[in-house]
């Protein structure tokens, strides 16, 4: 379906019921993709890449870059025209539904509604050693102009770092009488993040702790919907800042009577 034209400005506007990628002109469906194949670089490999892109549904697929990346593997960049569209106007994505408070409002909320310090533990669990995300939320210096939870006077924040086994996180939660656990997962090969996140929920339930904690997952492939499916209270993706997490944790505590 063609884009809608605003005749007052003569500018084409996207048809939100038939939304396609934008490249050079509205509604042209132009996309770029890249992938590797386990074959040596050459004419046959280029043709294989082109055919694969065509089978993905791209029209006029063309390999614009290819190179040998060693050990019998090749890398490809392709352009093509996507023939499919989505009904953007009727997309509904589960999101964390909470009032976002700033640093000062979160601390005031804790003083007024909870009346004691909130204990929050954060960690990269399992074999995950990527601490950039959890550090942005937990560390005192924070990220992007926002203080981390260690700076909040009404929060006792413990950043346990990387490669923390789930059993160790549960032990620390008991020792420190945690109110909330923040679990960061960046490594996703073979869906290890899913298994690791689910395993933590199993351990907490076995210890009778799950209902006494606010459980939050975060990472580049974490969505709120996925987190809920895995038994968590909320999921936050890339770009999340400390006030968003803190706002959810303290309001969830009050909502569930955990204060």
The label of the residue with tokens 């789930």 reads 166
- Residue pair 27/14 in contact (Cβ under 8 Å)? The answer is yes
Helix, strand, or coil here: 109?
helix
Residues 197 and 232: their CA atoms lie apart, in Å, by: 9
Cα separation, 184 vs 182, whole angstroms: 7
Q: How far is residue 240's CA from residue 189's CA, in Å, rounded to a whole number?
A: 22
Closest CA to 173 of 142, 136, 215, 144: 215
Rg (CA), the chain: 23
**Is residue 141 annotated as part of the catalytic site, yes or no?**
yes
**Which one from 10, 95, 117, 141 is the annotated catalytic residue?**
141
- Cβ distance 32 to 62 under 8 Å? no
259 with 115: CB under 8 angstroms? yes
Q: Which residues are catalytic?
A: 141
């Amino acid at each position: 379906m063609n884009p809608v034209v605003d005749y007052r400005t003569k500018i084409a506007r996207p048809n939100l019921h038939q939304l396609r990628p934008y490249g050079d002109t509205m509604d042209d469906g132009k996309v770029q993709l890249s992938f590797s194949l386990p074959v040596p670089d050459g004419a046959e490999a280029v043709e294989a890449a082109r055919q694969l892109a065509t089978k993905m549904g791209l029209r006029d697929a063309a390999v614009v870059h290819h190179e040998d990346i060693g050990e019998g593997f090749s890398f490809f960049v392709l352009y093509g025209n996507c023939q499919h569209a989505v009904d953007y106007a009727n997309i509904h994505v589960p999101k964390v539904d909470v009032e976002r408070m700033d640093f000062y409002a979160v601390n005031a909320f804790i003083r007024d509604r909870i009346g004691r310090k909130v204990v929050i533990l954060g960690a990269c669990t399992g074999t995950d050693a990527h601490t950039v995300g959890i550090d942005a939320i937990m560390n005192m210096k924070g990220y992007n102009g926002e203080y981390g939870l260690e700076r909040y006077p009404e929060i006792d924040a413990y950043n346990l770092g990387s490669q923390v086994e789930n059993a160790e996180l549960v032990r620390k939660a008991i020792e420190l009488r945690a109110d909330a656990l923040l679990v960061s997962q960046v490594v996703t090969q073979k869906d290890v993040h899913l298994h690791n996140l689910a395993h933590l929920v199993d351990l907490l339930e076995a210890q009778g702790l799950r209902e006494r904690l606010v459980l939050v997952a975060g990472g580049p492939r974490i969505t709120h919907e996925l987190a809920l499916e895995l038994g968590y209270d909320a999921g936050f993706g890339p770009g999340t800042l400390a006030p968003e997490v803190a706002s959810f944790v303290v309001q969830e505590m009050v909502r569930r009577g955990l204060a």
